[in-house]
Structure 1
Amino acid sequence: MSVDVEDYFQVSAFADQITRSDWDDHSCRVERNSDAIMQMFADHNVRATFFTLGWVAERYPQLIRRMVEAGHELASHGYEHTRVHHQTEGEFRADVRKTKAILEDVGGCAVTGYRAASFSIDERTPWAFDVLAGEGHAYSSSVYPINHDLYGMPAAPRFAFTPSKNHDLLEIPVTTWTLGKKKFPCGGGGYFRLLPYSYSRWAMRRVNRKDGEPCMFYFHPWEIDPEQPRVPGASAKSNFRHYTNLGRMESRLRTVLKDFSWDRVDQVFLDRHRRAA
């Protein structure tokens, strides 16, 4: 179970309407939403991994400490949600190093996990895994092995793999199921809100039972917040993807927390990988 800790105005879908220099002009809702999520997890005795922006950690250090104190894993989501393929290798390394240092300083714990903004490690950025390993990360969850207009690496393996022979860094893709050779998403996010819950439950159970694999599931704090401000000027597609079924998300999450067993990414995947090795 994982949460990408970013606010509603920081998502890639609204990047053309809201520049990073304007982020401080918007009312932040990430702290209250993240606290609500942690209460939801506590209600179901679930520990999770919070992939957190360095920008958020700098402004809400007490939120980060509450995450750690509650037993959740603190992991990196980059400093300010910049897609990897929009950075040079040097810029990416600086961003990874800066964010890791901020999170470890604020959280008082080691940070070994990383998730790229918008799952933006793909064929254009083969060097990214080497950078992450070199900066002290043990795993990444930055690949979505599907076709999508904003992200996707369809040729990537469906389940956890080591992308380089140069190091042991583990890449843990978001979960998909297959029909023939075609992959279909079932690891949370927008698909979890937009499609009936019965689809997600069926698909994840199929992965557990047929493939014998755990699922990598994710969502965002803004997805449980139907009262969030509307962003003017966004396209119809962006509005549909971002706002549809926000009011149903919390109840769906409570159901999925009850229907499956969940834990932190490092506890599920890293421990499994080490036992297999």
Structure 2
Amino acid sequence: MTTAPSRTAGDTPAALPKLAAFDVDGTLITRDGVLTDRTAAALEALADAGVMTVLATGRPWPQTTTVVRRARCLTYAVCLNGAVVMDIATGERIADRSMTHTEAIEAAEITRKLLPDVHLAVDLADGRHLWEHEFAPGMPSDLLADLQISRVDDAIAAVNGAVLTWLVHAPSTDTLTVVSELASEMPLGTEIRPSGLEMAEIAATGVSKSTGLEIVCQRYGIAPSEVIAFGDGLNDIEMLRWAGHSVAMSNAPESVRAAADVIAPSNSEDGVAVVLEALLAGRSRNIATAPR
């Protein structure tokens, strides 16, 4: 049985939301990178009921294609934690929220100065990914298999286009410490936050999954109160707090679970499907105790 955190299951939607947003890794797919038949069917049923289904992920757009192919009902993808928003049906990039060249270079130089053992990677707006030779974080195997990476000696020197995000890998320092130590040092126009992987990320100020979702919502006149969001990572906390109704996976850290209305079974137990099936069956006020 799952349990509700600070808010209760009675606060879950009495009617279907207009938009449902799903984190990918640790939420929608299993640890092995699989979108199960049960979860795919639940997403299809939700879309058939008239709910817009949207991805909200730290992954770059090309690395969402496995999920998109399995769940053809998905409409938009908020990628790189809000830096890019894609219309899935047309393949059109409807938002691209990069740092200025000056902001990006200054932020990376400050990071290198304050974290001597740091290794950097950069996601460029033209779709390229530049990784320094020693940059070697843990990433989902399916993401690594598809990611087109160019290895460079110095990512800062190699930047020759608009920067969407920097990934900050400091082997001797945990992610939250990196964020805490660098947050006040970032130049105006940039911010550092957890990336969803075991490292921090630098992006333009105000870029997040929730602001990416707002771009989609504004297209259709959808209010945050009409959104349900699912997530498991530190990079999902703002989204979970922003959405009118929120679900954290049981495999999420305590701080993430505390930000949600409801705790679902883990991603290895089809937790998203459990919640969606209950919602579609009219048991929304009992989501927190929905049977597996």
Task: State the TM-score, normalized to the length of structure 1.
Answer: 0.33
Choose between structure 1 and 2: higher helix proportion.
1
By relative contact order (CA 8 Å, sep 6+), the higher-ranking structure is 2
> Highest CA radius of gyration, 1 or 2?
2
Choose between structure 1 and 2: higher strand proportion.
2
